[in-house]
């Protein structure tokens, strides 16, 4: 028997009163990360291609930002392990958009840390919505 191993994933969604294209445009622009995800990316600087440098009070780290306009997907990935990161999907929802955000977590992350992280994600989704509506 073949056993498949998985790690914990958490997904949050937000209904946004803006077009899917407007929501995608906010997410796909790495320079806008500090606007909607300031806890994760207080500063963002483009390096080359998909690579961005995220500045924090403790220094900086690299991410890959992979955006596909046709599929309206944006993935914020670890350059060391591109299977790990945050995966965002923008779907049409009537005259607006539905934003899905999935985050894969380490096996040893405690429940309180997961709850705090997902509360931050919910704030980020609300910020994306405000930015997309404002145009």
Residues 94 and 76: their CA atoms lie apart, in Å, by: 27
Residue 47: per-residue pLDDT: 95
Q: Which residue range forms the structural domain that includes residue 60?
A: 9-134
**Which letter, b or e, does each residue of 2-24 get, where b requires 16 or more Cβ atoms within 10 Å of its Cβ?**
eeeeeeeeeeeebebebbbebbb
- Phi and psi angles of residue 121, each rounded to the nearest 5 degrees, phi first: -60, -40
Q: CA dist 119 to 12, 19, 28, 123, 135, Å?
A: 10, 25, 22, 6, 25
Residues 99 and 40: their CA atoms lie apart, in Å, by: 18
Residue 1 lies in a domain: no
pTM for the whole thing?
0.92
Residues 96 and 112: their CA atoms lie apart, in Å, by: 33
Nearest C-alpha neighbor of 88 from the set 12, 7, 18, 37: 12
Residue 1: per-residue pLDDT: 65
Residue 3 lies in a domain: no
Into how many domains does the chain fold? 1
Residue 2 lies in a domain: no
Residue 101 lies in a domain: yes
CATH code, 48 = 3.30.530.20
Residue 104: per-residue pLDDT: 87
List the chain pLDDT tens, one digit each, 135 residues: 667 767 889 999 999 999 999 999 999 999 999 999 999 999 999 999 999 999 988 899 999 999 999 999 999 999 999 888 999 999 999 999 999 999 988 778 888 999 999 999 999 999 999 999 998
Token representation of residue 26:
């906010």
Residue 127 lies in a domain: yes
Residue 57: per-residue pLDDT: 81
């Amino acid at each position: 028997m073949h056993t498949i191993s998985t790690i914990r994933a958490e997904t949050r969604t937000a209904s946004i009163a803006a077009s899917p294209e407007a929501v995608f445009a906010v997410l796909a622009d790495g320079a806008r990360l500090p606007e909607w995800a300031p806890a994760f990316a207080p500063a963002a600087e483009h390096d080359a291609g998909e690579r961005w440098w995220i500045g924090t009070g403790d220094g900086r780290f690299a991410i890959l930002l992979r955006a596909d306009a046709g599929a309206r997907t944006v993935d914020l990935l670890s350059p060391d392990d591109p299977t790990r990161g945050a995966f965002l999907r923008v779907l049409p929802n009537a005259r607006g958009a539905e934003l899905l955000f999935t985050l894969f977590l380490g096996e040893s992350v405690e429940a309180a840390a997961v709850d705090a992280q997902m509360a931050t994600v919910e704030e980020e989704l609300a910020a994306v919505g405000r930015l997309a509506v404002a145009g």
